[in-house]
Structure 1
Amino acid sequence: MEGNKKYVQESEVIMTEMVLPNDTNTLNNLMGGKLMHWMDVVAAIAAQRHSNSIVVTASVDNISFRNPIALGNVVTLQSQVTRAFTTSMEVYIEVSAEDIPVNKKYASHRAFFTFVAVDKEGKPIKVPELIPVGNKQEELYAGALRRRQLRLILANRMDPKDATELKSLFDLDGVNKK
C-alpha cells in the first residue's frame, strides 16, 4: 500500500459454494435470491478489504441470469474493487458454475455492486484511492466513472448535463445545439 492507496489485488475475494437442495427452486436450479445473497457477501468482503471498515450496499447494477446453475453444481464467485470514490467503492463480481462429474465449467453471471464505507454510527467515511494494474483492471477502473454517473442520473442525484463521462456517449452537447 502506498500512503492511502491500495492495489486492486488487495481486495480480491474468491468464494466457492455448492448448490444444495435447500438452495434450489422447483426446477432444481439455484434460486436467484440465493445467488444475489452470495454476490452481496463476496462483494462486501472485497469492499471491506479495500476500506478496512464496515460497508453497506448502496446499489446493485443489473444482474442478468444468463445460464441456470443446477443442483449439485459448484459456484465460484470472484470479486474485486474496480474504483474507489470519496466514500464509495464499485465492486465487480464474476460468477461461474461447474458441473464436476461432467467436467464442464461456464460463466454464469456478472454484476457491479456499490458499497459505502461507514463508521460504527453508520456515517460515511473516506476510503483509500485504488491503483489499477494491467489492461483489465484499468478498463474496469475507467468504466467505473461512467457507470457511477449513470447510476446517479437514474437515481435523480445528478443532472445529465453534469455527467462529463457520459456526454460523449450520448452527444448531449450536439443534441442541445440542434
Structure 2
Amino acid sequence: VAPTAEERKIVHGLFLNTLDTKTVSFRSRVLPPDSVWMEDSKLKGLEICHPQERNIFNRIFGGFLMRKAYELGWANACSFGGCRPSLVAVDDILFQKPVEIGSLLLLSSQVCYTEGKHIQVRVHSEVFDPLTRQHNTTNVFHFTFASDRDVPNIVPQSYGESMLYLDGKLCVHACARVLLSCDVYNSVPTGTCLTSPLCYFLFLLDQSL
C-alpha cells in the first residue's frame, strides 16, 4: 500500500533531519542526536528444525516458531534499549508456508520504530534450502515492547526502511489506542494489551525470561 500524504511528509521530514548542513549533497547523511540507524538495530539467528518439534502433520509446530521469533525479538529489544523489556502487544500472526523437519530456519529481527519507552520489533522468518539456494518466507512477526526508560529514536536511511518505519508506527499507535481499556486476564497488569490467547502465552513466556 502506498503511503498517504501525511506519511510522505513524515518520511520527508526524517530525510531532511539527516542531511549534513555543511555540504550540498543529498548523499551526505548524518545521524541526529540520541538516534540509531535502523540498519544498526538488527539481530539474526539460525535454528535447525529437529523432529522433536513436529506437529501431528509432521511439520514444525507453529508454537516453536513463535517462541523462537519472540525470543529473538525480545533479545533485540533488550540490547537496543539497554534493559529487560516487557511485552506489550503482538500483531496477528499469519503462517504463509509450512516448515519441514530438518529445515534451516533463518530469523532476522529489526527495530523498526521507537517512541518514548516503546520499541517496535519486526522479526522475519524464512527457510533456506541449501540444495537450491532459495529463501522462502514463512512468517513475519510484529512485537511491541516497553522499556523502563526512554529509548533512542530509530532513523531509516532507505525507502524500504522508511516503509518499515511507517508500518511500525501504525502498530505502536494501534496498540496505544487499546492499552487504557484492555485488561483481559485478571493475572495481567491493567494496561497490558493481551487480546488473544496467543498474546497471553507470550506474556507468560516473557515473565519467565
Instruction: Give TM class, smaller chain.
Output: 0.7 to 0.9
Is it true that 1:60 corresponds to 2:84 in the alignment? no
1:163 is matched with none
Give the superposition deviation at 1:157.
4.9
Show structure 2 runs of 5+ residues with no match.
Answer: 1-30, 183-209
Identity %, equivalent residues: 20
Is it true that 1:37 corresponds to 2:67 in the alignment? yes
SS at match of 1:105: strand
- Matches of 1:7 and 1:91 in 2, distance apart? 14
CA RMSD in angstroms comes to 2.0
1:69 is matched with 99
Structure 2 letter corresponding to 1:140? L
Structure 2 letter corresponding to 1:46? N
Give the superposition deviation at 1:2.
5.3
- Give 1:7-18 correspondences, 5 Å limit: 7-18=37-48
1:151 is matched with 175
- Matches of 1:111 and 1:157 in 2, distance apart? 24
Q: How many residues align?
A: 152
Is it true that 1:27 corresponds to 2:57 in the alignment? yes
2:122 is matched with 92
1:105 to 131, 135, 146: 135
1:83 is matched with 113
Give the superposition deviation at 1:104.
4.0
Give the superposition deviation at 1:149.
2.2
Structure 1 letter corresponding to 2:78? Q
- The one-character-per-residue Cα deviations of 1:71-97 (angstroms, maximum 9, x if unpaired) are 000000111100111111101111101
Q: What is the TM-score of this pair, normalised by structure 2? A: 0.66
Give the superposition deviation at 1:19.
0.4
2:202 is matched with none
- Matches of 1:9 and 1:103 in 2, distance apart? 24
Bigger fraction of residues in strand: 1
Give the superposition deviation at 1:49.
2.5
- The one-character-per-residue Cα deviations of 1:104-149 (angstroms, maximum 9, x if unpaired) are 43111112111111xxxxxx21111111111111111123222222
- Matches of 1:23 and 1:137 in 2, distance apart? 33
- Matches of 1:104 and 1:80 in 2, distance apart? 22
SS at match of 1:54: coil
1:141 is matched with 165
Give the superposition deviation at 1:154.
4.4
